[in-house]
A and B are shown apart, each in its own frame.
Chain A
């Protein structure tokens, strides 16, 4: 795969690799997403808007330049904006790949960081040398204003120009609580929502504080994703329950939605509305209880997002997906192409066959009509 270098959320030529429950692969224009879904399906998206989580500044004691990337928070509460988990880089900026960024000056509890109009204190070093807990000084309104005016969206060395907030907010972006964009949501704009409604496809949202997708530090990346707070509105829970009772599919737009829904579904008494913190990690041993299909960006093997797909398909299928993405030149990263993966129908690892056989068959029939585009 190649990196998508232009920060265009919905390029006209964006593609969608579709994998049905039988593991069959088809290629579609991404604009066809609404047509691939069925009346009764429920699409669930993460409506978190993205914070300008990258804050440049200085380590006050030494004057050393640093970049702080906010990476985690304890809750979504409006006033809970003083404490953050953060990844700290040394000199330089986004033009350098994170893997090549120098370490920050050694940090210790009590160290103060001057970040534009903001002052933050290192509360504790969570994982030296980069991961710390910070506390901003000041009242909530002043902290929010400081982040809004001084912060920049987390940037990507593979994107040609610096990103502005409007580049990283999805069209449905609501509460600003994500640290990186829930970019699978780029696939949805308001006309797509209208098309979904006309097709009888339901739409619901949750708000999930999506964290950093990678830090460039292998030891830290192995800890991703961090714990992420989320909020499930009552209307969304009602819609999910109704879809499941009907035997219709729940389609998660993005890994954060899958993580939150599965976390909620695994709670005693099942999915319920309200605030919670996702501490789960989806992978090959996950038994999906809520989500039937996922729309995601194309992720490179080894990333936490890629690992999550193992909850949906067997390793052999994932290998075929990776090969298809590679040989058909799909674009990767935030502004790249997408996949729609329905979880495997065939029982594997001992879990029961999902209930959506009928719908899956219908999707398979749809895919059958475009078989001419399948790889040989």
Chain B
């Protein structure tokens, strides 16, 4: 599917976790077809480098997990784009790194996963709902819906041992998507959860350090599928697939190479320099080592 930037008005798109992995690929994909993109990530240096590298993109420094950041981020998104047609919650936290059994998961790590994967998308959606509804009212005549995309995972559906904090928080995100959709669909806003499949990203490397990248989907390919899905959802021709697993080729689910045993056997996630994911939660590595056992709660 090809897009000519001259055949339609540019989309106004916001992407969280936009400096690495799938988020970066989405920013690149939208920018390449002439859409206006604002992206959010925590590291100011990386935000600046990505914004410089991708012409016309707007980099915003912020942590969606932090309540105090959310409205400042929303303000900058609305200010930079002058409106919002598509909001993509891509930033994700694995919870404990390396992955841990629930029985071995620190409460703080679980909370961090919930903050990034559930509360953050809730708050940011709420703060930007007015912009999305304004977009929907303006494009109602053309039959276009505004769209919220929550990036989920098959770990939200299948109980993989070791993926407790991540899987439970992504399940909450997927269900929240369904409820948001029921509530805001009358206002012309669709909310969908999309599972991009296992990708060769920093987050995946943190979870499964010894995975063979050759067996993983390239973020660029996943981004292209999501962009196509977004175009279909915007047109409203496809009823929102809240379960989301129709998003891409079914092969994505088969490609999962994460054997529960393999993950847990892998000694560590590796040194922090190994992955620069904005989505992976480096600080919690420190928390593990810095907080003496028993003092966590």
Q: A residues engaging B (CB < 8 A)? A: 47, 49, 51-52, 76-78, 81, 140-141, 144-145, 147-149, 164-166, 169-176, 190, 193-194, 197, 204-205, 207, 233-236
Cα distance A190–B187 when bound, in Å? Answer: 10
B133: which A residues are within 8 A, CB to CB?
Answer: 172, 174
Q: Is the contact region of chain A dominated by helix, strand, or loop, or is it mixed?
A: mixed
Given contacts A145-B60, A165-B71, A193-B187, contact A175 B137 (CB under 8 A): no
Q: Pick from B19-27, B74-82, B171-179 the stretch touching chain A.
A: B74-82
B76: which A residues are within 8 A, CB to CB?
Answer: 141, 144-145, 148
Among A147, A174, A235, contact of B140 (Cβ-Cβ < 8 Å): A235
**B130 touching A141 by the CB < 8 A rule?**
no
Among A49, A169, A175, A205, contact of B82 (Cβ-Cβ < 8 Å): A175
**B130 touching A171 by the CB < 8 A rule?**
yes
Cα distance A49–B61 when bound, in Å? Answer: 20
Among B73, B79, B186, contact of A175 (Cβ-Cβ < 8 Å): B79
Cα distance A16–B153 when bound, in Å? Answer: 48
Q: List 25 A-B contacts (CB under 8 A).
A: A49-B75, A49-B78, A76-B82, A77-B82, A141-B76, A144-B75, A144-B80, A147-B75, A148-B76, A149-B72, A171-B130, A172-B130, A172-B133, A174-B134, A175-B82, A176-B78, A190-B184, A194-B186, A204-B137, A205-B137, A207-B134, A234-B141, A235-B137, A235-B140, A235-B141
B61: which A residues are within 8 A, CB to CB?
Answer: 145
- Shortest beta-carbon distance, B80 to chain A, in Å? 6
Given contacts A78-B79, A141-B59, A145-B60, contact A174 B131 (CB under 8 A): yes
**A173 touching B130 by the CB < 8 A rule?**
yes
Quick check: is B34 within 8 A (CB to CB) of the other chain? no
Chain B: interface size category: 20 to 34
Given contacts A174-B131, A197-B186, contact A144 B137 (CB under 8 A): no
Given contacts A49-B75, A141-B58, A190-B183, contact A169 B127 (CB under 8 A): yes
**A148 touching B72 by the CB < 8 A rule?**
yes
- Select from chain A the residue with minimum beta-carbon distance to B138: A233
Cα distance A81–B133 when bound, in Å? Answer: 24
10 extra interface residue pairs, beta carbon distance < 8 Å, beyond A174-B134, A204-B137? A47-B134, A141-B59, A141-B76, A149-B72, A164-B71, A165-B71, A165-B72, A190-B129, A233-B137, A233-B138
- Select from chain B the residue with minimum beta-carbon distance to A150: B72
Cα distance A114–B59 when bound, in Å? Answer: 23
A149: which B residues are within 8 A, CB to CB?
Answer: 72
**B72 touching A174 by the CB < 8 A rule?**
no
Given contacts A166-B127, A233-B137, A235-B141, contact A140 B80 (CB under 8 A): yes
Given contacts A190-B183, A197-B186, contact A78 B141 (CB under 8 A): no
A190: which B residues are within 8 A, CB to CB?
Answer: 129, 183-184, 187
Quick check: is B208 within 8 A (CB to CB) of the other chain? no
Among B60, B81, B138, contact of A234 (Cβ-Cβ < 8 Å): B138
Cα distance A47–B58 when bound, in Å? Answer: 23
B72: which A residues are within 8 A, CB to CB?
Answer: 148-149, 165
Cα distance A234–B141 when bound, in Å? Answer: 10
Cα distance A171–B74 when bound, in Å? Answer: 13
